[in-house]
């Protein structure tokens, strides 16, 4: 790829390069939308509450190279000129660091941020790896330039996320939501990982000790499916490696991407998620759109009156325990999370073909993380990765290749409910302890399996720690409730819809489509 290898910083009224966290916290404290919390950190209320998929465009004169919406290179240059003219009258901060910490794989990256929105710079600073190699001659491969106060007339909501993969620059106009910074860098990194022969996965990573040795697990899922919770919930004193994105390479080798965590805070419970709760309420964390009634007061993680998509960013060091990706063994298991409310079991084991198929389907219920248009709706997002900037068929085929080369097992986990939605009296919720028991049993190899007659994957007959067989085999719940006709109708609908969905991706390996048939 054509990387930008010059220390590019737009002209501005003033430039503050690589400020410390103390300086960034002070700048955040001065923001009119920032409130200090009882924990000593700052909570910023933003106008934009989620990532803006409808306003995101890849710059290319060949739209056949991507599954995303595009604009021409001429229009990309116009957007760049508009933003750079705006920045001439602004004060900016520049954050430098690396995506990843392995010297043989890491990627130098930069955020250029309007100083009035310094919380975004502080949050990104937590996520990038930094060391003494970052000097005056630092040459970023990827740069995000962020101007929340600049509108982009003519685009959805006058907002624009302009992704120029060839230049290695993403420009964010008229959004003050931090996710556009984080995902802006990782979206460009997705392409780099693919070109190096791997695949960037929207996944957490953890290492679980067992009597048979350490097991590295990847947890793949859309935002809001429980990816962070599953990664940080402890089994056998497991340690998290990565919260949100990893590079999976041939042979199951894993590289990390970030030095911190971007955690969803809605319904965060100290009892159920003590590790995340402690990190979110630490003085160094940045909060975004968490309910708070008064300055210096507590926050309410259960109040959704403004948004369910409250967020927090904290460094991995706030956890007190984590594992360096460079020390993690090759992957032994990959978990695809699906927050479902129907007939998906709490855990299922997939064949090689089925694994790539369900990876491509990327099924779940949408949450506020994807904006109001996605919340509560049934979604299919290839690879559960809305940030892959190339053709989606390339994701599925590359995953198929990597799975065959890596020798790891792939599992489907339902983090929602079976038999109906959460408020349905006939339904049963798959709770955090249930999912944790499934993860522990996967790592230890203690699940007893049998073939599912409807979908051909394997379902559990016994999982230590899960006493309810109806969570493991939803057909049993439907049978007991006299709803087998409803169950059969859902099976038929899913088969039809899934086949139709996968047919939309020209070039996808045909074995993935045939894997939908029951065995």
For residue 368, pLDDT over 80 is answered with no
| Pair 169, 234 in one domain | no
Instruction: Give domain status of residue 135, yes or no.
Output: yes
| Pair 67, 115 in one domain | yes
| Pair 150, 222 in one domain | no
Q: Mean of the pLDDT values across residues 178-194?
A: 97
| Pair 55, 204 in one domain | no
Read off the CATH number of the domain in which 134 is found. Answer: 3.40.449.10
Least confident piece of the model among 296-300, 396-400, 420-424: 420-424
Bigger pLDDT: 519 or 200? Answer: 200
Instruction: Give domain status of residue 307, yes or no.
Output: no
| Pair 489, 364 in one domain | yes
Mean pLDDT over all residues of the chain?
A: 93
What's the pLDDT at 335? Answer: 97
* Tally of domains in the chain: 2
The phi, psi pair for 424, rounded to 5°, reads -80, 125
For residue 115, pLDDT over 80 is answered with yes
Instruction: Give domain status of residue 297, yes or no.
Output: no
Domain that holds residue 469: 200-259+325-514
| Pair 58, 182 in one domain | yes
Alpha-carbon distance of 481 to 468, in angstroms, equals: 15
Q: Mean of the pLDDT values across residues 261-274?
A: 92
Q: Are 474 and 343 in contact (CB under 8 A)?
A: yes
| Pair 177, 238 in one domain | no
What's the pLDDT at 449? Answer: 98
| Pair 98, 246 in one domain | no
Please say which residue of 166, 196, 226 terminates a domain: 196
Instruction: Give domain status of residue 296, yes or no.
Output: no
Instruction: Give domain status of residue 316, yes or no.
Output: no
Please say which residue of 177, 196, 215 terminates a domain: 196
3-class SS at 105? coil
Instruction: Give domain status of residue 465, yes or no.
Output: yes
| Pair 91, 230 in one domain | no
For residue 409, pLDDT over 90 is answered with yes
What contacts 185, CB < 8 A, 6 or more positions away?
A: 99, 109, 111, 124, 142, 144, 170
The phi, psi pair for 465, rounded to 5°, reads 100, -10
Strand order through the sheet with 203-210:
239-242, 203-210, 213-220, 331-338, 409-414, 347-350, 458-462, 448-451
Q: Mean of the pLDDT values across residues 291-299?
A: 95
Task: Indicate the pTM of the whole model.
Answer: 0.93
Instruction: Give domain status of residue 170, yes or no.
Output: yes
3-class SS at 287? strand
| Pair 180, 224 in one domain | no
| Pair 120, 227 in one domain | no
What's the pLDDT at 7? Answer: 60
| Pair 172, 244 in one domain | no
Read off the CATH number of the domain in which 400 is found. Answer: 3.90.228.20
Please say which residue of 142, 161, 196 terminates a domain: 196
Instruction: Give domain status of residue 415, yes or no.
Output: yes
Least confident piece of the model among 43-47, 184-188, 509-513: 509-513
For residue 4, pLDDT over 50 is answered with no
Opening angle at CA 421, ends 418 and 424, nearest 5: 100
What's the pLDDT at 32? Answer: 97
């Amino acid at each position: 790829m054509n990387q930008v290898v010059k220390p590019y910083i737009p002209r501005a009224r003033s430039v503050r390069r690589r400020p410390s966290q103390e300086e960034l916290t002070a700048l955040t404290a001065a923001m009119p939308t920032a409130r200090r919390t009882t924990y000593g950190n700052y909570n910023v209320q933003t106008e934009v509450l989620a990532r803006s998929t409808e306003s995101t465009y890849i710059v290319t004169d060949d739209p056949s190279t991507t599954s995303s919406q595009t604009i021409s290179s001429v229009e990309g240059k116009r957007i760049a000129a508009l933003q750079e003219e705006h920045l001439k009258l602004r004060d900016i901060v520049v954050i430098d660091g690396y995506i990843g910490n392995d010297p043989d794989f890491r990627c130098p990256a930069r955020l250029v941020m309007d100083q009035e929105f310094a919380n975004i710079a502080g949050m990104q600073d937590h996520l990038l790896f930094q060391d003494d190699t970052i000097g005056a001659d630092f040459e970023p491969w990827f740069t995000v330039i962020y101007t929340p106060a600049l509108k982009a007339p003519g685009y959805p909501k006058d907002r624009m996320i302009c992704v120029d993969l060839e230049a290695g620059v993403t420009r964010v106009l008229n959004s003050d939501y931090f996710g556009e910074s984080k995902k802006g860098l990782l979206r460009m990194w997705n392409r780099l990982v693919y070109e190096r022969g791997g695949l960037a996965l929207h996944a957490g990573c953890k290492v679980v000790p067992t009597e048979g040795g350490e097991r590295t697990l990847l947890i793949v899922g859309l935002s809001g499916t429980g990816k962070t919770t599953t990664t940080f919930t402890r089994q056998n004193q497991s340690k998290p490696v990565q919260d949100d994105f990893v590079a999976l390479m041939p042979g199951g080798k894993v590289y990390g991407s970030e030095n911190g965590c971007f955690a969803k805070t809605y319904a965060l419970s100290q009892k159920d998620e003590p590790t995340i709760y402690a990190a979110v309420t630490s003085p160094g964390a940045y909060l975004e759109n968490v309910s708070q009634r008064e300055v210096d007061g507590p926050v309410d993680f259960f109040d959704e009156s403004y948004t369910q998509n409250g967020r927090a960013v904290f460094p991995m060091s706030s956890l007190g325990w984590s594992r360096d990706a460079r020390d993690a063994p090759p992957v032994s298991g990959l978990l695809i999370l699906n927050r479902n409310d129907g007939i998906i079991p709490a855990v299922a084991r997939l064949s090689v073909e089925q694994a790539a198929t369900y990876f491509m389907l990327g099924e779940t219920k949408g949450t506020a993380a994807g904006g109001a248009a996605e919340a509560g709706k049934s979604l299919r997002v290839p690879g559960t990765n809305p940030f892959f900037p190339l053709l989606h068929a390339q994701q599925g085929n590359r995953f198929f290749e990597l799975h065959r080369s890596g020798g790891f097992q792939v599992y489907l986990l339902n983090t929602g409910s079976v038999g109906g939605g959460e408020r349905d009296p006939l339904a049963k919720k798959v709770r955090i302890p249930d999912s944790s028991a499934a993860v522990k049993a996967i790592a230890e190899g203690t699940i007893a399996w049998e073939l599912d007659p409807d979908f051909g994957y394997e379902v559990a007959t016994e999982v230590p720690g899960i006493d309810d067989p109806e969570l493991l085999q939803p057909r049993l719940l439907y049978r007991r409730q006299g709803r087998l006709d409803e169950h059969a109708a859902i099976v038929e609908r899913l088969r039809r819809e899934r086949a139709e969905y996968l047919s939309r991706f020209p070039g996808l390996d045909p074995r993935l489509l045939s894997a939908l048939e029951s065995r």
